[in-house]
Every structure is written in structure tokens, then in C-alpha cells.
A and B are shown apart, each in its own frame.
Chain A
Amino acid sequence: MTVRIGRWVLWFGMVALVTAVLVPVRSEADQSYIPLAYLLIVLGGSLGAGHRLGFALATVSFLVIDFFLQTPYNRVLTFGRPADFVTLAAFYAVAGVASRLLASARHERDLALLRAEQVTALSLERERLIAEVEHVAALREAERMKDFVLTSVSHDLRTPLTTIKALAQEEQRTGTSRAAEIEEQADRLSGMVSDLLDLSRLRSGTFGVEAELNAAEDVIGAAIRQVQGILNGRTVSAVIDARAPALYGHFDFLLTLRILGNLIENALKVTAPGSAVEVSPSRDERGLVIGVADRGPGVPEVERERIFEPFYRPQGGPPDHGRAGLGLAIARALAEAQGGSIGSRPRAGGGTVFEVILPAADEPGPDPQPGPGRILVDS
């Protein structure tokens, strides 16, 4: 603002100065040079400070010429000659053209500055994006490496375990008394390998969940089949009401199978030979509920939640109780990954019921159109 006022003062000062110089010599001076002097001022002012000052200088200069420097002297708007208006028009034209040139020069300058800023911003953005892409690629590579390491670790651990197991079984047939223990420990180690792999996959979120329509009794049947080898005189039975309609849920078959496997294994650990673990589906307002019931010592109220923590061992429990205490933690994480939950409650008459709650589903609608049907002929 002060700069602008300063400019106005400067240029009007120039007008005053030129006038002061010309007035004493006005009678001798060539009349055609006088407007030229002022024209230079108008031009300078327009270029220096824009069209407002330009037009103001043009108007004032015209009036000053008219008043002081043109006969009759000291009278305004004498309109002596039409050429005077040509002078005025020339002043305005100069002011207009000069300030337009100035404005467009400024505009170009601003534009150039803006472009420069944009270029800077874009190059920064580009650098940021490149860094981001590199970061994502690095993360993906790390994830891939981790998967690769987990897969090879599991392969590298399982192959020697298979050999140990096979050798132990061979020794058992020849009557070596401790061979059965070797096999048992190899099984335990292999269970721990699976658990640790699962837990690390769950933690890193690389566990794929494929929730689909499934019958509760299908997954229960598969789970019971899976534990046949570790029964040791105990039984696991499915309690299904065959008169009621089958119960369906929306869940991942393999993950749910894993959950039930862990729960049934746990239940078997506290079940005496000759007793049974019961697995039964039901449906209530919480969803599809699959219960695994044992007749074990029960879970004290204070431990009801803590038993789902990784590596948690119940107070006074045997040292080898559970596989490094991961089974229930994995079961809970797997249930939650499918939008379900898991909990336990005391069983009427003693023992515990572990309940997996999964999203319930109704039996689906009509089939796709039955096709001609290709009969499978075994080769």
C-alpha cells in the first residue's frame, strides 16, 4: 500500500516538476514538444504502477497542458483546438496499452511462478509415490519371504519328523520299549510346529477365510473322524437330532474343523478312559452353536477367559498339559476370523462345555437345473 502511494506521489511529482520547468518557457517552447514530455510521464507511470495511475496521469497531464501551457493560459477546458483531444486520446491510449503490457507481463510472471511451484509439488509427490511403491513392494516381498520361510520350515521339520516316527514304529515292532515314547514326542513336536505356524499366520493376517454354507453335522463328523487315532479307550460322539432339520451355518469348513479338533483334543485330555466327549449342534439367538462337552474337572470361574490366552497354563496343571498352551488361543482367533466367537460354561452334572458360535444360515433355495449327468466310470 505504501509502495503504491509512494509511486503515485513520485509520478505526480514528475508532472509537477515538468510543469514547473515548462511554465516559465511556455511562450517560447515549441507547442508540439510539450505533450511529448507528458507522454513520457504517462508511459512511465503506466508501466511502473498500472492502468489506474496511467489514466490519472493522462487526465491530469491533459488538464495541466490545457491550463498552464496552452493559450489562453490559466483557463480550464478552452477547447481551443480539436487536436487537443487527439493529445488526450493519445495519452489514454499510451496509458492503456502500456498498462495492458504490464498486466500481461505480470500475469505471465505469476503463471511462470505458479508452474514452477506446481512442478516442485509434482516432483515431491512423485518422489513420495515412488517411495510408497517401493515400501509396498518391500512389504509384499517380506510377506512372500515369510510365507516361503514358513512353508519351508514346515516342510523341513516335517520330513525328519516323518523319518523319526517311521523309525520309532519300526523299533516298536522289534520290541524296543521306549520307541512308543519317541513316536509320541515326535507327534507332539509336529503338533507344536503346526500350532506355531498357524499362530504366526493368524498374527500376520495371511489366513484366508472362505465362509460358505456348511452343515454343522458335516464338520462335526469330519472332526470326530480326525481324532480317531488319539482316543485311547475314550469315545467322542455326535449328538444329532435326526428328526429335526439339519442345522447350517455360514463358515469356513477347514478353519472350523481346526477349532473343533482343538476343542475335542482338549476335552479328551481331561476325559478318563471309558468316558465320552459329546459334540452337539444347536441354534439360538447367538447363531449356530457347536458345543463340545466333557466330564473333566471343570474350569474355575477366574480362569474362564485366561485359558484362551496364548501359552497360558492352568494353575497346577501338568507340565505337558496342552501343546504349549496354544490350542485354545488358536481356536478363538480362528472363530473370530469367521465372525464368530468361542467361550466356555460349566456343564450340568460336572465338566465343561466349550461353545463355538458361528453365523447361522438357512438351507439354500432350489438347485441349479439338473443336467444330463455324466456317469463317472472308474478307469
Chain B
Amino acid sequence: MTEPGCILVIDDEPQIRRALKNALGEVFERVVEAGTATEGIDLAATAQPDLIILDLGLPDMPGVEVCQEIRRWAATPIIVLSARHAEQEKVSLLTAGADDYVTKPFSTRELIARVQAHLRRARAQHTIPSDGPLEVGDLTIDLARRVIARGEERLRLTPIEWNILRALVMAAGRTLTHRQIFEAVWGRGPGDPQQYLRVHVTNLRRKIEPNPGAPRYVVTEPGVGYRFELTA
């Protein structure tokens, strides 16, 4: 029993490509593969995949450029695979349009879970801001009416907390960098975005999370930013 969806794997290591193809093929309808960035970009256009898995160590083009190239004409979710555990690289990739970042060695189970989460998010995308309140866990969030409730209890957020939550919810499932959130809330400008953001996120979590020390909704992507989890 496979889920609908086409996954494009761009990786120059044939073994990883094979392993990913086998693992993903058990879950999804169709898996296409490319061994170079050029071939991958072509396939991204011709095969119309629902999601792209992109290895950063490609010989013919830097990963950031591949992301930017695909983002010029497609909103397809991109999950990046990297052997380096470097936060700065994550930030630049997310800014270039990648949706997620998985560090090697990863488990295929985890990767499949992330692929499913991004596919769900991509399908739900259009429904989030417009179609009435969003229900996630015990939270009900109505972006249009600026109302948030936990169970029956209505929560009071400050305008800044509300703006942070709105930015995160509208990109739910995708990590926003500190800078991206800061610009969405305070506008472009100088200042250390992280410090203020951390304090407001801490306050926001204390209002919406059952346990602020183990957040379910607003999770931290260490060194990169925050993400709103729809699967909480």
C-alpha cells in the first residue's frame, strides 16, 4: 500500500541513491533519481515531483545554487542532506529556499517521516490561512480573527507574540530562520534579532505549550530558528 506522490532523489552516491529509492519506494508511488545537479534540475522540471531530496555534496554545483535554481520556478518542498553539521550552512540553505535539513548519517525512517510531514504540509498549505480556525493538538488558532484557544480556554497573547505565532503558523512544518521571523515581526532593520526573539518565544511557549521545557508546537531548530509543528 503506497501513498501517492513522486519523490526526486538527487545524490551522486549510487549506494545512497539505491537505498533511498528502495526505502522511499515502499512508501511512495514513484521515486525518480538523478546523479548530478544538472540532471536533477532537469528532472525537477520534467518529472514534476511532489518533493525533492537534495544531497549537498554534488560534484557539479553547490547545493545553495541548486535550491535557488529550483526555487525560481517551483515551490516543491526540498529536503537537503548534508554530511556537515554546520548551522550557518543550514541558515543559508533555508534562506535559499530549502525546507528542511537532514544531517548524515540519518535514518531512512526519520527521513521518510520528514518527507511525509512536508508532503502533508504542502497539501494543507492553501487551507491554513484562509479556511477558518486551524486545530492542532489541543490548540485552536484562528489567524483571521486573531483568536487562539487551548481547549476551551482563550489565550491572551501580546501583539508581538501573536505576530511571531502567525509567521510560524503560516510556514507551519518549515523552519524559519531567526532573521526571517525577526523581519516578519519587526520589519527590516538593525538589531540583534535572536535576543528579543528568544525572550518572546519563551513567553509565547509559556502560554501555549503544556510544558515549556518540552515544546510540542513551537520547536527550536538549534542555531537556525524555530518551526511550528502541525503533527504535535
Q: Which residues of A contact B109 (CB under 8 A)?
A: 169
Contact with B along A22-51 (1 / 0, CB 8 A): 000000000000000000000000000000
Contact of A190 among B22, B105, B183 (CB under 8 A): B105
A253 to B224 Cα, complex, angstroms: 11
* Assembled-state Cα–Cα distance A128/B226 (Å): 53
Contact digits for A359-379, partner B, Cβ 8 Å, 1 yes 0 no: 000011001111111111111
Least CB distance, B103 to chain A, in whole angstroms: 8
- A187, A218, A238: the one within 8 Å of B220 (CB): A218
- Contact pick for A364, options B83, B125, B189, B196, CB 8 Å: B196
Chain B interface residue number, banded? 35 or more
Tell me whether A370 and B105 are in contact (CB under 8 A).
Answer: no
CB contacts (< 8 Å) of A224 on chain B: these are 213-214
Whether the Cβ atoms of A159 and B223 lie closer than 8 Å is no
Tell me if A337 is interfacial: C-beta within 8 Å of chain B: no
Contact across chains for A372 and B220 when beta carbons are under 8 A apart: no
Please report the total number of A residues contacting B with Cβ < 8 Å.
59
Residues on A with beta carbons closer than 8 Å to the beta carbon of B171: 376, 378
Contact among B16, B180, B215 for A166, CB-based, below 8 A: B16
Q: How far is the CB of A334 from chain B (nearest CB, A)?
A: 14
Question: Do A213 and B213 contact each other (CB < 8 Å), given the known contacts A221-B220, A370-B186?
Answer: no
Q: Does B104 lie within 8 Å of A364, measured CB to CB?
A: no
Q: Are A372 and B187 in contact (CB under 8 A)?
A: yes
Partner of A155, one of B84, B167, B203: B84
Q: Which of B26, B194, B196 contacts A367 (CB 8 A)?
A: B196
Give bound CA distance, A215 to B204, whole Å. 12
In the complex the two chains form, what is the Cα distance from A100 to B75 in whole Å?
A: 94
Write the nearest CB–CB distance from A23 to chain B, whole angstroms: 102
B46 proximal to A (CB < 8 A): no
Say yes or no: B19 contacts A166, CB within 8 Å: yes
Residue interface bits B163-180, CB-to-A below 8 A is 1, else 0: 100110011001010001
Is residue A220 contacting chain B, with contact meaning CB distance below 8 A?
yes
- A368 and B191 in contact, given A167-B15, A376-B176 (Cβ under 8 angstroms): yes
Contact of A222 with B220 in the complex, beta carbons under 8 Å: yes
- Asked whether B52 is an interface residue with its Cβ less than 8 Å from the other chain, the reply is no
With both beta carbons as reference points, the residue of chain A lying nearest to B102 in the complex is identified as: A162
Q: Does A161 contact B (CB under 8 A)?
A: yes
Q: Which of A159, A239, A372 contacts B13 (CB 8 A)?
A: A159
Q: Is B151 an interface residue (CB 8 A)?
A: no
Contact code string B63-90 (vs A, CB < 8 Å = 1, else 0): 0000000000001000001011101000
Closest B residue by C-beta to A223: B222
Check if A154 is an interface residue, CB within 8 A of chain B: yes
**Complex contact A238–B211 (CB within 8 A):** yes
Knowing A212-B195, A238-B213 are in contact, say whether A376-B105 is a contact too (CB < 8 A): no
Known contacts A151-B84, A225-B219, A161 near B199 by CB under 8 Å: no
Task: Pick the residue among A170, A253, A370 that contacts B222 (CB under 8 A).
Answer: A253
User: In the complex, are the beta carbons of B159 and A163 less than 8 A apart?
Assistant: no
Which residues of B have CB within 8 Å of A158? 83, 104-105
Beyond the given A221-B212, A229-B110, A373-B184, please list 11 additional residue pairs across the A-B interface where CB-CB is below 8 A: A163-B19, A167-B19, A169-B107, A170-B108, A194-B85, A218-B220, A237-B213, A254-B223, A374-B187, A376-B180, A376-B184
